[in-house]
């Protein structure tokens, strides 16, 4: 790869000057120290889109071909791909009709560094062309934002699952847990809304209200994805070190410092929340063990707490050394979907999720990320994620159910997670 630094350029300097001919715009952002690399790319050289039934081998070939040409691969795996990987025939309704696998190949992109941007390209000639294009974009005046007036049909997110339907699903899950089918299930429900606001403007608003480490944006084909995820799924470095960071345990942020501290202590002192994280940590440790060298798997962090804009979360960090015979994509698919958004054990949890949730999840609780020519990758868990199709927007929220969960608290937790998206539409 070839690169060059352009100093004193910010994310906003570029974002506010992109025109319509910068197509299929994609980016990742991070706020704080613990996040992934921030980058922007557009006008991909190639893309790969497929259904779960025939897409896996094609995806592996696509990634290898892009790596051979020194291209960055960026896109998503939908949660529903997991049904194919675990040989489950889903019964839930597929009403969004998004691809199960969707990736772009970029021969050039921009990384954000401490003193500006690093323009990266697959070779010297492409780099020179790309630098010229970037300088042309920076020379433009900023695009004025068009104000969208409020109306009764805009700026709302409404649940498409009634409280009664949620309660029925919750009761079924508690029965399965009591009977020993599973230890934990991640139960979710979808909210829907409408907005005339464009996806690029929505993304700016989302970033303002969600200062998290794994923000992603994808302009697809007939859909856009806006993800403000706090959770990293898998990071694999060029030296084959593999890390996963499951999140479990939630409390709302307080209205003042005293209340905030009270909720923080409640979370850290909760045996239920601790047990929930421990179960998922064990599941992910087993998942990493399947693709790692014997003796290399370690729990680096067992239970840390982190403050986000509207909630407190606890998380762990498990690490291993990827087997030499496996590619990073092999590892990603082996561990997919993430255990923190299915439950334990994973396959049975997914079967129950399909039974109690009326619609398929699509990108939500799948994974978004990038793979580089050196076979390193970095993928989030696609929670806190908007799917936009035309003027319609879809946001799904959920939480882990265990034996001693309380239905009222669990439902409120899902609403707390949606708070940071209310008002941006």
Is 30 catalytic? The answer is: no
Angle, CA of 23, 77 and 298, to the nearest 5°: 125
Q: Is 360 helix (H, G, I), strand (E, B) or coil?
A: coil
Residue 10 CB neighbour total at 10 angstroms: 11
Residue 5 corresponds to which tokens in the numbers above?
Answer: 């630094």
Q: Dihedrals φ, ψ of 369, to 5°?
A: 175, -170
Class of residue 88 by CB neighbours under 10 A (exposed 0-12, middle 13-18, buried 19+)? middle
Going by C-alpha positions, the residue among 170, 231, 192 that lies closest to residue 353 is: 170
| In the block, residue with structure tokens 């084959």 | 240
Q: Dihedrals φ, ψ of 89, to 5°?
A: -95, 105
| Catalytic-labelled residue, pool 52, 197, 219, 231 | 231
Work out the end-to-end distance of the chain between its first and last CA atoms, rounded to an integer number of angstroms. 39
Residue 57 corresponds to which tokens in the numbers above?
Answer: 């081998």
DSSP H helical ranges for 144-224: 163-178, 199-209
Phi-psi region of 70 (alpha: psi -120 to 50; beta: other; left: phi over 0): left
| Catalytic-labelled residue, pool 52, 211, 240, 248 | 248
Distance CA 27, CA 30 (A): 10
Class of residue 33 by CB neighbours under 10 A (exposed 0-12, middle 13-18, buried 19+)? exposed
Class of residue 425 by CB neighbours under 10 A (exposed 0-12, middle 13-18, buried 19+)? buried
DSSP state string for 340-357: GGTEESHHHHHHHHHHH-
Q: Dihedrals φ, ψ of 82, to 5°?
A: -60, -30
Is 163 catalytic? The answer is: no
Class of residue 402 by CB neighbours under 10 A (exposed 0-12, middle 13-18, buried 19+)? buried
Residue 168 CB neighbour total at 10 angstroms: 13
Q: Dihedrals φ, ψ of 407, to 5°?
A: -60, -45
Catalytic sites, residue numbers = 231, 248
């Amino acid at each position: 790869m070839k690169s060059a630094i352009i100093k004193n350029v910010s994310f906003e300097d570029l974002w506010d000057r992109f025109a319509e001919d910068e197509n299929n715009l994609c980016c990742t952002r991070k706020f704080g120290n613990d996040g992934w690399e921030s980058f922007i790319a557009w006008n991909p050289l190639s893309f790969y889109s497929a259904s779960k039934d025939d897409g896996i081998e094609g995806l592996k070939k696509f990634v290898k071909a892009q790596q051979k040409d020194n291209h960055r691969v960026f896109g998503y795996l939908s949660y529903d791909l997991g049904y194919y990987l675990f040989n489950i025939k889903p019964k839930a309704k597929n009403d969004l009709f998004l691809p199960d696998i969707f990736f772009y190949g970029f021969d050039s992109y921009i990384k954000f560094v401490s003193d500006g941007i690093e323009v990266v390209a697959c070779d010297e000639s492409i780099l020179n062309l790309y630098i010229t294009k970037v300088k042309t974009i920076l020379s433009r005046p900023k695009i004025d934002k068009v104000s969208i007036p409020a109306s009764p049909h805009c700026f709302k997110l409404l649940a498409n699952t009634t409280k009664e339907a949620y309660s029925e699903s919750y009761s079924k899950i508690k029965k399965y847990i009591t009977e020993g089918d599973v230890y934990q299930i991640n139960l979710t429900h979808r909210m829907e809304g409408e907005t005339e606001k464009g996806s690029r403007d929505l993304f700016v608003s989302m970033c303002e209200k969600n200062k998290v480490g794994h923000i992603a944006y994808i302009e697809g084909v007939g859909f856009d994805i806006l993800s403000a995820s706090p959770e990293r799924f898998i990071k694999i470095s060029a030296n084959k070190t593999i890390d996963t960071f499951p999140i479990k345990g939630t409390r709302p942020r307080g209205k003042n410092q005293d209340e905030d501290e009270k909720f923080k202590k409640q979370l850290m002192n909760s045996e239920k929340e601790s047990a929930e994280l421990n179960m998922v940590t064990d599941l992910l440790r087993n998942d990493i063990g399947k693709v790692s060298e014997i003796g290399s798997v370690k729990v680096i962090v067992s239970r840390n707490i982190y403050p986000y804009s509207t909630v407190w979360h606890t998380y762990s960090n498990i690490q291993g050394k990827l087997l030499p015979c496996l590619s990073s994509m092999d590892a990603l698919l082996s561990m997919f979907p993430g255990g923190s958004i299915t439950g334990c054990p994973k396959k049975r949890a997914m079967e129950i999720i399909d039974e109690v949730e009326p619609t398929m999840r699509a990108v939500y609780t799948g994974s978004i990320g990038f793979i580089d020519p050196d076979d390193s990758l970095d993928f989030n868990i696609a929670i806190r994620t908007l799917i936009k199709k035309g003027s319609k927007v879809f946001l799904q929220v959920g939480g882990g159910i265990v034996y001693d969960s309380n239905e009222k608290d669990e439902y409120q937790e899902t609403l707390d997670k949606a708070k940071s998206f209310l008002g941006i539409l």
